[in-house]
Structure 1
Amino acid sequence: MDGLNQVICEKRSYSKEFKSHQHEFGQFLFPLQGSLELQTKWQEINLDPDHCLYIPPKCDHNYRSVDRNEFLILDIPSQYLPEDTSNMYIQVDEQWASIRYLLLEESRNKASTAALVDLTRYVTNKLQISNPPSIEYIHKHFREPITLETLANIEHYHPVYYSSWFKKQTGKSPKVYINELRLKEAKHLLISTEWSISKISEEVGFMNSSSFTRWFVNCEGITPQKYRVLNNR
């Protein structure tokens, strides 16, 4: 299937022996029953029905399933994909569950491929607009201490690789990305509330107002108090 030129959506099962390959097309895996052990150069994943996985073209991977299994597989020719994609390990929320259901219905419809192609375009568009799970985690938890290991574990990447992967996704290191989110929130709170500096410092993840003030001055060149006065005129 290396020369794949049409979308394929079908159910497949996998054996207990590890197999290894790569392909010239993208692939989405939706577990319906059982799980799949999958390894890439930088990832080790046990894919279960609560998650789905996108594997980009030319990604070497080893895989096997040790239990009774069934997977819904969507093979996507390169012409339907963005120029550059990377592995994406995704929690199956309500929206992804609906996508899985629609794909399952289309896998049974052999008469027409038009709806499947439209659905595939929708799925690949989500690849471009969806934040990877670790970045979603950062947006929800940037006020708390976040370690590189925690973020790498969310993506099932080795920490040594995660930083370079993150920079490829965002153009920034995790530390800079988190710092910018905290600064944006701090500036918003300084302007939009009458909270004390102490309360704002706690809200954006600092133990005390002194450390928050030092950090803010280092980022902005002025104190939080001065920033508030200048922007509330």
Structure 2
Amino acid sequence: MSNKRYEVNTPGVSPVDRDVTKLLYVSTAKYGGDWHSLMHTHACTELFYVVGGMGQFKVAEKLIPVSPDDLVIVNPNVEHTEVSLNASPLEYIVLGVEGMEFAADENGDRRYSAFNFHSGREDILPYLRGMLREIEQKSAGYEVVCQDLLEVLVVKLMRHTDFSLTVTPAQQSSKECAEARRYIDSNFKENISLDQLAELTHVNKYYLVHSFSKEYGVSPINYLIGRRIEESRYLLADTNHSLSQISHMLGFSSPSYFSQSFRKLEGISPMEYRKRQRAAREGHPE
């Protein structure tokens, strides 16, 4: 009989402060065809792990090529977007974490960090998939399991990085602004007014506009329009819905207002965008 016993030392200080650090969401995305989303920011830290495909992440003014097992960490309030390539659609898992920022060494860029975990894939990916599975199934106690997995994941990430990675509490965002933004993200197809958002967050609407604009660089209504336009790009490229149908589906007051808003943000008309996307897909870019 062989018997081995290993003693566990007293645990060190966890890099995750559970009083302030919380996992807000886990989601997965897989794009079909070329996809260029709008530049945007989040009040939380986002961790993107590329599961498949190829594309680019644009962070502030930098363009970062990504492929499977790349991890891009974007700190709060940093403009970023994803670009998927038609030949190999981008697929990734993303975590939104409140109360935490990742910082590289003194020579790194404090806005974002990028790593490749090809050699450590089996040490990282199971935790991400575990969180995704827990939050999809929502079995009893899933919140605790997700928070535990987040803590283990952070320790694993710190083990695998080539340079020192520290985790520091992030500045808390305005509760009212965060609540208004979450509501818009979940209900942007509905008829949302500034008065509704003010009632939801229990603050004066003029104060909400000022605070939201200061925190996110855009007014609540313009953020709402941006979310609708972002969704319209998919509908234009991948469906045969008319402009009138898309306008109605996304909550615009009229097709003309939709077209006007689209042109203002994208620089071209919705129909021209559709034409270009389909030409590119057929291998005949204009």
Shorter-normalised TM-score: what interval? 0.3 to 0.5
In our comparison, the structure showing a higher alpha carbon Rg is 1
**Which is richer in helix?**
1
